[in-house]
Amino acid sequence: MPFTTQALVSREVNVEPKLEEITLDRIRADEVLVEIHATGICHTDFSCMNGTLPAVGDKVKHVNKNDKVLLSFDHCGACGQCDQGHPAYCAEWVPRNFGQKRPDGSLTIADSNGKQLHGSFFGQSSFARHSIVSSSSVVKVPAETRLDLFSPLGCGIQTGAGAILNTLDVQPGKSVAVFGVGSVGMSAVMAAKLRNAKTIIAVDLQPQRLEAAKKLGATHTVVGSESDVVAQIQKISGSNGVDYSVDCAGIPQVVEKALDCLGTRGKAATVGAPSPGVRAGVDVFSHLVMGRQYLGCCEGDSDTQKFLPYLIEQHAQGQFPLDEMVTYYPVNEYQRAFKEVKEGKALKGVLLWK
C-alpha cells in the first residue's frame, strides 16, 4: 500500500529544498522500501544513504525485512559490464541513476496534494525518511554496522577509494598525486595509504584541507594556486613525475596538471564530474614517448556488493579512518549542513533522520 513519510523536496532549479510530507508508491517486486537512518551529502548531488528494510519486493532475494543496508547506484545486472563485475559502467547507468523515474517511466513519489514528484535518483532518492529503492542499489551489511558513519560510502567515498584501489590499482612503494582533497580526494589519500604508497601528494586550494590530508596519509602537500604545481610534484617524486595521479575536480586546468605531472608510464584517472562536452588539452607527444595513460573512473569502478563491505572491514582494522571526515547534522538543520559542505567547512556532511 502507499506509504506516507517526509523528504527534502526541490521544486525548482537553484531553490533550496524544503522538508515536506510525501507519499510513496507501492513497492514493486524488484524494489525495497528502506527506512533511512542517515544520508550522506555529496557535492555532485545528494545521494548516499543507509537504513533498515521495512518491506522487500517478491523478486528481491539478497536482503530480508529489517536487514541493515547501505545504498549505492542502480544498475541493470544483466548487460556485459554488469556480468563482468563492472556495474558502474552498466549499459543503462545514466537513465537508471539520473532519469528521475523507474526504468519503465513511472514515478515513485507524490506530494501531500497528490502531485507526482520526480525521484529515483541513483535508484533511490535518499533525502527522505523512507525511500523506494531499486534492489540493485541495496547492499546488505552486518547488524552491528554503524548506519550514521557508513552512510556516505555508496557514492563519493567509494569513488575516491576505488580510483586508487580499482581503476589505477596503485602498487606499494609508488607515488601518487591527488588533485582536490574534499571527501572524494581525501578518500583517495586514505586508500593510497592503505596500499602503502611511498609518496602521497595532496593538492588543494584550501590550507585547512591540506592539513587534514596530512593527518589522513598525505606525505606532502602542494597549494593548487601556485604557478609551479607540476614542477613541485616532479621534485617531490624524485624522478620525472609520479606513478599515479587522480583528478577529483573535473576542471580542465586541473586535468591537464594531473596529466603533466605523470612520470614515465604513469597513469592518471579523472573522478571529478564536469558538464558534458568539457574538454582538456593533452600533450600527445609526451603521452606517446612516456607511455602515459589517462583513464575515466565512474563510482570507483566499484562492485558495490563486495567493495562497500571491504571498506567497512578496512575501517574496522584501523586502515580507513572515515570517522575523521564526517560531520553529523539533525535533518532539521539541513540548511546549515548544505552551507557548510558547500563552503568546505565539513568534508562529508551526514543528515541524521533519527
Query: What count of Cα atoms within 13 Å lies in the side-chain half-sphere of residue 183?
Result: 29
Per-residue pLDDT reduced to its tens digit, 122-143: 989 888 999 999 999 999 999 9
CA-wise closest residue to 24 among 34, 15, 11, 12? 34
C-alpha–C-alpha distance, residues 138 and 306, integer Å? 12
Residue 6 to residue 127: CA distance in whole angstroms: 9
Q: CATH: 3.40.50.2300, 2.60.40.420, 3.40.718.10, 3.40.50.720. Which one for 157-300?
A: 3.40.50.720
Contacts of 147 (CB under 8 A, 6+ apart): 37, 38, 50, 51, 52, 68
**What does pTM read for this prediction?**
0.93
Residue 47 pLDDT grade (very low, low, confident, very high; cuts 50, 70, 90): very low
In angstroms, the CA 172 to CA 163 distance is 15
Domain boundaries, the chain: 3-154+321-352, 157-300
Q: Dihedral of the CA atoms 210, 212, 216, 222 (nearest 10)?
A: 10
Whether 3-154+321-352 shares its CATH topology with 157-300 is answered no
Sign of the CA dihedral running 138, 188, 268, 196: negative
Residues 6+ apart with CB under 8 A from 136: 74, 75, 76, 77, 87, 123
Q: What is the mean pLDDT of residues 188-217?
A: 98
Tell me the pLDDT of the chain averaged across its residues.
92
3-state helix, strand, coil in the chain (%, to 5): 35, 25, 40
Partners of 199 in beta bridges = 175
The pLDDT of residue 50 is above 50: no
Of the candidate ranges 23-32, 36-45, 46-55, 191-200, the one whose mean pLDDT is the lowest: 46-55
Q: Which amino acid is at 330?
A: P
Q: For 123, list phi and psi in degrees, rounded to 5.
A: 70, 15
> Is residue 45 within 8 Å of 120, Cβ to Cβ?
no
Structure confidence at residue 274 (pLDDT): 84
pLDDT reported for residue 118: 87
Top CATH class of 3-154+321-352 equals alpha beta
